[in-house]
Amino acid sequence: MSLRHLVISATVSVAVLAIVASAARAETIKVGVTPGPHAQILEAVKPIAAKNGLDIQIVEFTDYVVPNAALDAGDLDANSFQNPPFLAKQIADRHFNIVAVGKTIFLPMGIYSKKIRTLGALTDGAVVAIPNDPTNGARALLLLQSAKLIRLKDGGNRLSSPQDIVDNPKHLTIRELNAAQTPRSLDDLDAAAINGNYAATAGLAPSRDALFSEGGGVGEALQSVYSNIIAVRTVDQGKPWVAQLVAVYHSSAIRGFIIRHFGGTIYPAF
């Protein structure tokens, strides 16, 4: 074999070994999300993470309960879909060993309707839906109170339920539905308090379509207790891939993607 062939062969071998070594160093993680913004943002995170040796497999869930159960059971390595009060309630009720490791986005909850254009047009006895999980249900009730549609006992809190309504001047019927069903049920309702991710999936924007919504903007995103988070198992929180995932998510590239792609209806919380 000529010297030239030996050099080429050696070069190819080194390249192959480098690829194999790189593949060996790459770490694969499964991250659970709900459809819409959380999934879309993680799709943007994925190629950047891949360049740094972190292979992200995205797993979509259509509800708010299974992603934490799957994470706790080890079927996922992380999830990105919930806010701290929701996680705290899940941990208290189900004893999950899960912890938040970084903020993601703030999605304002809004009151939407296909039948009326203003809250003042709600008739006596109108049917208004709220999410049926305790955390988002309380958030929706606080929103209805801010809109001056109801008044809650002692001003309400993050644990308020429909039983805590002490003043309901329009005699609204509060209907509790699975959060994912609220946009799809608008035809059968007078109005609904809809979580930002499901509103976005349905093509609704709080600034454009909501009759009333939580405040938006970067300031609200940074301060709101309802800003969403990345969660992992408690035993994993110190692993290098966790810091790597959060660092990529918090990069200027992803911040820019959120601002551009969602046009001011969803806000980075970092």
pLDDT at 219 over 90: no
Of 214, 229, 255, the last residue of a domain is: 214
User: Do 200 and 175 belong to one domain?
Assistant: yes
Contacts 24+ apart (CB under 8 A), 200-206: 200/36, 200/37, 200/107, 200/262, 200/265, 200/266, 201/35, 201/36, 201/37, 204/110, 204/112, 205/263, 205/265, 206/108, 206/109, 206/110, 206/265
pLDDT of the residue at 85: 97
Banded model confidence at residue 14, pLDDT cuts 50, 70, 90: very low
The pLDDT tens digits for 60-82 are 999 999 999 999 999 999 999 99
Task: For residue 3, count CB atoms less than 10 angstroms from its CB and return exposed for 0-12, middle for 13-18, buried for 19 or more.
Answer: exposed
pLDDT of the residue at 25: 65
Q: What is the mean pLDDT of residues 185-192?
A: 98
Buried b (16+ CB within 10 A) or exposed e, 108-117: bbbbbbeeee
pLDDT of the residue at 264: 79
Query: Residue 98 sits in a domain of what CATH number?
Result: 3.40.190.10
User: Do 236 and 158 belong to one domain?
Assistant: no
Question: Could you give the CA distance from residue 62 to residue 175 in angstroms, rounded to a whole number?
Answer: 20
Total structural domains within the chain: 2
User: Do 258 and 196 belong to one domain?
Assistant: no
| Percentage with pLDDT > 70 across the chain | 91
Domain that holds residue 15: 3-107+221-268
User: Do 116 and 207 belong to one domain?
Assistant: yes
Measure Cα distances from 235 to 77, 97, 99, 146, 242 in Å: 11, 8, 9, 40, 11
Kindly report the backbone phi and psi dihedral angles of residue 267, in degrees, each rounded to the nearest multiple of 5, phi listed first: -125, 140
User: Do 82 and 49 belong to one domain?
Assistant: yes
Q: What letter would DSSP give residue 123?
A: P
Average pLDDT, the chain: 91
pLDDT of the residue at 218: 81
Q: Other CB atoms closer than 10 Å to residue 102's CB: what's the count?
A: 19
Banded model confidence at residue 12, pLDDT cuts 50, 70, 90: very low
User: Do 142 and 83 belong to one domain?
Assistant: no
Q: What is the mean pLDDT of residues 190-199?
A: 96
What pTM, to 2 d.p., does this model score?
Answer: 0.84
User: 227, 250, 267: which is closest to 85 by C-alpha?
Assistant: 227
Q: What is the mean pLDDT of residues 116-121?
A: 97
90, 96 contact by CB (below 8 A)? yes
Question: Could you give the CA distance from residue 241 to residue 230 in angstroms, rounded to a whole number?
Answer: 13
User: Do 31 and 153 belong to one domain?
Assistant: no
Q: What is the mean pLDDT of residues 191-206?
A: 95
User: Do 89 and 124 belong to one domain?
Assistant: no
pLDDT at 1 over 80: no
User: Do 94 and 11 belong to one domain?
Assistant: yes
User: Do 203 and 250 belong to one domain?
Assistant: no
Extract the tokens encoding 59: 């797993």
User: Do 131 and 84 belong to one domain?
Assistant: no
pLDDT of the residue at 118: 97
pLDDT of the residue at 22: 43
Banded model confidence at residue 16, pLDDT cuts 50, 70, 90: very low
Looking at per-residue confidence, does 168 or 215 come out higher? 168
User: Do 100 and 22 belong to one domain?
Assistant: yes
